[in-house]
């Protein structure tokens, strides 16, 4: 489900029209996330840490309306739910684009994610399904690199307003703290650094929780 945003009553209408006309309307930031507690919780639950922090990411994304905006020509729609198209690696070194639906109940989400990961790992090719809707974040994990910045391959001729969120290599300090880099790229016509900061702060907060 999605609803049309009334641009005339939106205080960012001028910002939207300004950034929408740019060839590259996306901006990105890279931050460090403390994942000490989240990693411990995932191990205690005997669940995949990747699936665990993907769920936390989607929980944060769905909490903030600006991350649920998508552009369709001259209109902005607000989606009720945002899912993840995550890159899933295979044993032969390739990956495929998945579609993992968000569900607030972690047990339900974990079951759906594991089924989709298994499907991708047993399917050849990059595009293994049709993506009919844009209620997505483009999600990737880069566990080989402790990056400090990140860019994305993009075709500027194809309309795109989906946020892109990536995580890097988890590192362990001598004091036992676990951290990993997080990259967030968003359409500047839909939000500003203020909104990205609010989402990132909330994501860190729920990563620090003792339970799912």
Model pTM score: 0.96
Give the position of tokens 């499907």: 119
Q: Where are the beta strands (DSSP E) in the chain?
A: 2-4, 26-34, 69-72, 75-79, 83-89, 95-97, 136-141, 164-167, 171-172, 178-187
Closest alpha carbon to 31 in 211, 196, 143: 196
Q: Per-residue confidence of the chain (212 residues) as pLDDT tens digits?
A: 999 999 999 999 999 999 999 999 999 999 999 999 999 999 999 999 999 999 999 999 999 999 999 999 889 999 999 999 999 999 999 999 999 999 999 999 999 999 999 999 999 999 988 888 899 999 999 999 999 999 999 888 888 999 999 999 999 999 999 999 999 999 999 999 999 999 999 999 999 998 87
pLDDT of residue 21: 92
Q: Are strands 164-167 and 136-141 parallel, antiparallel or unpaired?
A: parallel
pLDDT of residue 50: 98
CB-CB contact of 62 with 78 (8 Å) = no
The span from the CA of 150 to the CA of 182, in Å, is 9
């Amino acid at each position: 489900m999605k609803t049309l945003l009334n641009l005339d009553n939106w205080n960012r209408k001028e910002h939207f029209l300004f950034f929408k006309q740019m060839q590259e309307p996306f901006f990105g930031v890279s931050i460090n996330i403390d994942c000490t507690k989240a990693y411990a919780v995932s191990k205690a639950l005997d669940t995949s840490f990747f699936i665990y922090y993907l769920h936390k990411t989607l929980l944060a994304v769905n909490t903030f309306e600006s991350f649920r905006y998508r552009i369709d020509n001259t209109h902005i729609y607000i989606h009720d739910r945002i899912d993840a198209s995550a890159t899933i690696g295979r044993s032969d070194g390739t990956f495929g684009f998945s579609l993992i639906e968000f569900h607030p109940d972690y047990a339900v989400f974990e079951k759906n994610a594991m089924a989709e990961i298994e499907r991708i790992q047993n399917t050849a090719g990059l595009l293994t399904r049709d993506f009919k809707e844009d209620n997505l974040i483009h999600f990737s994990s880069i566990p080989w690199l402790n990056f400090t910045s990140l860019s994305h391959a993009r075709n500027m001729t194809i309309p795109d307003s989906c946020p892109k969120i990536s995580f890097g290599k988890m590192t362990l300090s001598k004091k036992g703290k676990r951290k990993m880099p997080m990259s967030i790229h968003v359409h500047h016509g839909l939000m500003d650094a203020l909104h990205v900061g609010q989402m990132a702060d909330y994501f860190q907060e729920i990563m620090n929780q003792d339970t799912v």
